[in-house]
Structure 1
Amino acid sequence: MHAFLTGPLFYISLAVCLGGMIFRFYKYFTGLSWQLDRVAYKEYPMMGLKGAWRSIYKWLIPYGTYGWRQQPVMAAAFFAFHIGAVCIPLFLAGHNVFLKEKLGFSLPMLGACAADIISWLAIAGLCVLVLRRLVLPEVRILTDRKDWGVLLLSFLPFATGLLARYQVGDYGLWLNLHILSGELVLLAIPFTKLSHVFLFFASRAQLGMDFGIKRGGLKGTPMAW
């Protein structure tokens, strides 16, 4: 089982994730209206790029936008979870040993103590986000079974990874479940709301270009449509 999880299933899940997201990006950009969304970008590329960059980095900075500042607790939970969801898979030492073995490269590695802290903060942040969906009626009414499935799938790699890390019970079982849950996340990314981990950049860039050109520096001026 371990050989299958760390061999064929890993390569399959990685290929599905990357191939699926390339297709999602293609569908996203080709689905834009030429008249409404892209003519202005071609005419004013530098202004568009400036707006795109501003839109992306503002939303990547904790409390960098008005929306984050209006909900400080939710913003803290959001960033605690998402920082963990990005940093732990990419920079955990054990993961990079695996990457080096399977793909021939590795990334900078987190120390064990830092990884533990980030992981526990991510779980705490996810718990707050779950509580938000349970408590706030305006959020609860928009939450369906798919959303709960995505939240559970997001939780499992952290839970199983920590259980393996602290060697609670059967280490081999938790390790295999950790690998399987991580690969299920990769398989699910192109087909669920988890795709926002990549599409965030596309949507924020497109909106930033829209605001930067049409509603920003060129507002009220003649322009090609």
Structure 2
Amino acid sequence: FTRMWPRREFRPRILHWEAVSYVFHIGLAVVILGLVPHILLIRDITGLSWPGLPTGVITFAAGVALISLLALLAHRATHPVLRQISNFDDYFSWLLVFTPLLTGLMAYYHLGGRYEDLLALHMLSAELLLAWLPFSKLAHTVLFAFSRGVTGTIYSRRGARI
């Protein structure tokens, strides 16, 4: 867990954006794993099920995740170094994460069109996100565990201490 927070030397410059990133990831996880329709979909696919969270919690988490994503996009677009190293994958991946969150909220609250149309847009955007995921930087959603394991194995062989 100590490796999940910035080193003391870097904290003054990046702690705010690390926190915003964590808020986004936690909000997204709450929406994906806490919304009853998502739980039912997971149950249909895997057989696993758990109790859902109240609608207010899900709405708050989705709103916070959307605001965090907007803040992170603004930071990427205005920070000179991040702007230089950003490419199509970064912006397209951002859009593909933002769209299902937005369309999900729009469908739930019937904002901007018929419920069926909004739900179809939500499902289509989520499917597009899942199709893009393995070919993008978003693959870290699955690969982070393997990466941490390999890094730990390499460092333990070299005698590094924690």
TM exceeds 0.5? yes
The match for 1:66 is: 7
The match for 1:84 is: 27
- The answer to whether 1:192 aligns with 2:136 is yes
The match for 1:171 is: 115
Q: Which has the larger radius of gyration?
A: 1
The match for 1:143 is: 86
- Provide, for residues 83-138 of structure 1, a one-character-per-residue CA deviation record: whole Å limited to 9, x for no partner: 12223122211211233345433233221111111111111111111011111111
The match for 1:105 is: 48
Instruction: Give TM-score, length-normalised by structure 1.
Output: 0.64
The match for 1:161 is: 104
- Provide, for residues 180-213 of structure 1, a one-character-per-residue CA deviation record: whole Å limited to 9, x for no partner: 1111111111111110111111222222333344
Q: Is the contact between residue 43 and residue 49 of structure 2 (CA under 8 Å) also seen in structure 1? A: yes
- Provide, for residues 166-185 of structure 1, a one-character-per-residue CA deviation record: whole Å limited to 9, x for no partner: 11131111111111111111
Give the whole-Å Cα distance in 2 for the aligned partners of 1:186 and 1:197.
11
The match for 1:214 is: 158
Give the whole-Å Cα distance in 2 for the aligned partners of 1:206 and 1:59.
14
Residue from 88, 93, 100 that aligns with 2:36: 93
Change (3 A) 1:69 1:209: farther
The match for 2:58 is: 115
Letter matched to residue 136 of structure 2 = T
Letter matched to residue 130 of structure 2 = L
Q: Is the contact between residue 76 and residue 125 of structure 1 (CA under 8 Å) also seen in structure 2? A: no
The match for 2:74 is: 131
Change (3 A) 1:134 1:79: same
Q: Greater RCO between the two (CA within 8 Å, min separation 6)?
A: 1
Give the whole-Å Cα distance in 2 for the aligned partners of 1:66 and 1:193.
23
Give the whole-Å Cα distance in 2 for the aligned partners of 1:103 and 1:199.
20
Give the whole-Å Cα distance in 2 for the aligned partners of 1:178 and 1:140.
29
Higher deviation after alignment, 105-114 or 194-203 = 105-114
| Secondary structure, counterpart of 1:141 in structure 2 | helix
Q: CA RMSD in A?
A: 2.0
Give the whole-Å Cα distance in 2 for the aligned partners of 1:204 and 1:101.
31
Instruction: Give TM-score, length-normalised by structure 2.
Output: 0.86
| Secondary structure, counterpart of 2:49 in structure 1 | coil
Percent identity over the alignment? 31
| Secondary structure, counterpart of 1:216 in structure 2 | coil
| Secondary structure, counterpart of 2:86 in structure 1 | coil
* Unaligned residue ranges in structure 2 (runs of 5+): none
